[in-house]
Amino acid sequence: MQAGLEYRHGSGYEPGMTGCAGLDLIGVNHAYDGTPVVRDFTLSVAPGELVCLLGPSGCGKTTVLRLLAGLEPLQQGRIAIAGKVVGEPGRDLPPEARGVGFVFQDMALFPHLDIAGNVGFGLRRLSAGEKRTRVKAMLNRVHLDGFVHAWPHQLSGGQQQRVALARALAPAPRAMLLDEPFSGLDTRLRSAVRDEALHLLKSDKVTTLVVTHDPEEAMFMADRIAVMRDGALEQVGRPAEIYTQPASEFVAEFMGEVNRIDSVVRDGHVATPFGRVQANGHAEGKAVHVLIRPEALKVAGAEQGIVTAPPIGVLPARVLASRLLGRTSWVHVCLNTDPTHRHEGPGGLEEHSHWHVRVPGHFLPAEGSELRISLDPRQVFVFPAPAPT
Ligand SMILES: Nc1ncnc2c1ncn2[C@@H]1O[C@H](COP(=O)(O)OP(=O)(O)OP(=O)(O)O)[C@@H](O)[C@H]1O
Ligand SMILES: [Mg+2]
């Protein structure tokens, strides 16, 4: 074995053991049967940091996690844990030698072991007494104290997921890899289990990479979000950065719904029905997409908290429908109540007269009623329109 490639049997928990490890993927490429699924992938997770790998189904998220865990032979690039190379083409440390815990998408509990047996599974180095103490402590942390001798089939989905988490955390891994760990749960249970997991991981300062395709989940959990598209990273940054300064139209749309209009850059600005906004450096005459978040539209009379900039252009809008979605209300409006009003976009106002507006709280204007709407120009994104094919 090569000198830099050191075997560690660090996944065995010993009392008093602490410490967490950074994760590094450097220039990783991976293909299945000649089809590339991970492309030029470089990402570091700092010790104690929680990074969410976010992207649509099939973009390669699980493959990245499998490569990190050592479940897939590395074809190109390098993988390091705690600064030690654990994977290079032809030289992969086996999963059990990497000191990482994982909870995979389809990971089930061992049906032939009770809950204590499942949680204690990775605690090979402990005496029977130490093992019992550790299992008890872990079950306490996931609020399943009474379940030591229960069997997996006697537990609900959420309880099983918490056991899986306890099992992965019991050996005090230096890093955790979680692949859609809450996906099987209903909305309420999901946020409860997620909240618990987050506190557990953060209080233990465990380095964590979590895969999800849910932007809200990523924003809830992550110190940083890595947005992935077609095998490559599209943007990496803090949640607020990703949401308010998306690097591409793909990221903007993936993070949350947008109203989109076509426009053309003139005098450094683009036209919207509400007036001109800055073109953010796009070249004169360039065809662009203007993306406007539903919460960037401000409704006169609705309480919408702090507006980040003075709103522009107050326009009349007719309510097509309004729905209460819990914390927010969603209002569909039609902007072209005045047929003489036109903006300069190539498509004209007609084709995008239907807009979505998000207002906090209970605000349900009647269908057909008229609202006055303005735009917070700071929540408008301008990206080049893709070249026609
Ligand atoms: N063992 C395999 N053999 C061949 N192709 C595979 C294999 N595993 C995954 N793929 C393909 O690689 C691509 C990436 O798969 P991967 O499971 O990494 O995506 P993902 O982002 O985790 O998707 P999801 O969100 O649906 O779980 C997909 O097109 C998938 O069909
Ligand atoms: Mg997956």
Q: If DSSP states are collapsed to H, E and C, what string results for 110-148?
A: CCCCCHHHHHCCCCCCCCHHHHHHHHHHHHHHCCCHHHC
Instruction: With H, G, I as helix, E, B as strand and everything else as coil, classify residue 104.
Output: coil
Q: Is 213 in the pocket of ligand 1 (CB under 6 A)?
A: yes
DSSP string for residues in 301-353: TS-----SS--EEEEEEEEEEEEE-SSEEEEEEE-TTSTT---SSTTTTGGG-
pLDDT for 10 equals 39
Residue 340 φ then ψ, to 5°: -85, -15
**How many angstroms separate the alpha carbon of residue 369 from the centre of ligand 2?**
45
Tell me the per-residue pLDDT of 108-153, one tens digit each, with 9 for 90 and over.
Answer: 799 999 999 999 998 988 999 999 999 999 999 888 999 999 999 9
> What's at 157, amino acid-wise?
G
Is the CB of 32 within 6 Å of ligand 1? Answer: yes
Q: Which residues pair with 331 in a beta bridge?
A: 322, 357
For the segment 203-221, the average pLDDT, to the nearest whole number, is 92
CATH number for the region 23-249 comes to 3.40.50.300
Q: What is the mean pLDDT of the chain?
A: 86
Going by CA atoms, what residue is nearest to atom 8 of ligand 1? 63
Distance CA 186, CA 157 (A): 9
- Tell me the percentage of the chain whose pLDDT exceeds 90: 59
Cα–Cα distance, 295 to 299 (Å, whole number): 10
In what order do the strands lie in the sheet containing 232-237? 100-103, 175-179, 207-212, 50-54, 224-229, 232-237
Contact indicator for 23, 207 with CB cutoff of 8 Å? yes
> Which residue type occupies 102?
F
Q: To 10 degrees, what angle do helices 187-203 and 157-169 make?
A: 10
pLDDT at 287: 95
Q: Looking at the DSSP assignment, which residues form a beta bridge with residue 79?
A: 25, 87
Closest ligand 1 atom to Cα of 211:
22
Distance 34 CA to ligand 2 centre (A): 19
pLDDT computed for residue 19 by the predictor: 55
Average pLDDT over residues 303-319: 72
| pLDDT score of 141 | 85
The pLDDT of residue 14 is above 70: no
The model's confidence at residue 378, banded by pLDDT at 50, 70 and 90, is confident
Instruction: Judge if the beta carbon of residue 374 lies within 6 A of ligand 1.
Output: no
Residue 388 has pLDDT above 80, yes or no: no
User: Around Cβ 55, how many Cβ atoms within 10 Å?
Assistant: 26
Average pLDDT over residues 158-180: 89
Q: How far is CA 114 from the centre of its chain?
A: 33
Residue nearest to atom 14 of ligand 1 (CA): 60
Contact 62 CB / ligand 1 (< 6 Å): yes
Assigned CATH class of 257-299+308-384: mainly beta
pLDDT at residue 337 in the model: 53
CA-nearest residue, atom 6 of ligand 1: 32
CB 63 within 8 A of CB 72: yes
Q: Report which residue type is found at 320.
A: L
- pTM of the full structure: 0.86
Q: Which of 148, 145, 198 is nearest to 169 (CA)?
A: 198
pLDDT at 1: 31
Q: State the average pLDDT over residues 182-198.
A: 81
Question: What is the distance in A from the centroid of ligand 1 to the CA of 117?
Answer: 31
Neighbours of ion ligand 2 (CB under 5 A): 62
- Under the banding of pLDDT at 50, 70 and 90, the label for residue 297 is very high
Give the residue with greater pLDDT, 30 vs 1.
Answer: 30
Whether the CB of 60 sits within 6 Å of ligand 1: yes
Residue 340's pLDDT band, with cuts at 50, 70 and 90, is low
Q: What is the DSSP letter of 389?
A: -
Higher-confidence residue: 347 or 176? 176
What's the 340 CA to ligand 1 centre distance in angstroms? 51
Q: How many CA atoms lie within 13 A of 129 on its CB side?
A: 0
For the CA of 214, the nearest ligand: 1
With a 6 Å cutoff on the Cβ, whether 203 touches ligand 1 is: no
Ligand 1 close to Cβ of residue 106 (< 6 A): no
Ligand 2 centroid to Cα of residue 140, in Å, is 30
| pLDDT confidence bin for 346, thresholds 50/70/90 | very low
Report which of residues 169 and 7 the model is more confident about.
169
Highest mean pLDDT pick, 187-196, 306-315, 318-327 = 318-327
| Model pLDDT, residue 301 | 74
Q: Indicate where the chain has its CATH 2.40.50.140 domain(s).
A: 257-299+308-384
> How many helices and strands in the chain, by DSSP H and E?
8, 21
User: Ligand 1 within 6 A of 73 CB?
Assistant: no
Q: Report the range of poorest mean pLDDT among 181-185, 216-220, 272-276.
A: 181-185
Residue 352 scores a pLDDT above 60: no
Summarize the confidence of residues 183-202 as an average pLDDT.
82
Examine the pLDDT at 156 and tell me if it is beyond 70. Answer: yes
Could you tell me the distance, in angstroms and rounded to a whole number, from the CA of residue 56 to the centre of ligand 1? Answer: 11
State whether the beta carbon of 58 lies less than 6 angstroms from ligand 1.
Answer: yes
In this prediction, residues 222-248 reach a mean pLDDT of 97
Determine the distance from the C-alpha atom of residue 23 to the mean position of all C-alpha atoms in its chain, rounded to a whole number: 18
pLDDT of residue 307: 55
Q: How far is CA 27 from CA 64, 232, 322, 357, in A?
A: 12, 11, 48, 41
Q: What is the largest CA-CA distance in the chain?
A: 82
Residues of the chain with CATH 3.40.50.300: 23-249
Give the nearest ligand 1 atom to 63 CA: 18
C-alpha 122 to ligand 2 mean position (Å): 24
Give 344's pLDDT tier (boundaries 50, 70, 90). Answer: very low
Q: How many CB atoms lie within 10 A of CB 312?
A: 17
Q: Nearest residue CA, atom 22 of ligand 1?
A: 62
CA count, 13 A, side-chain hemisphere, 138: 29
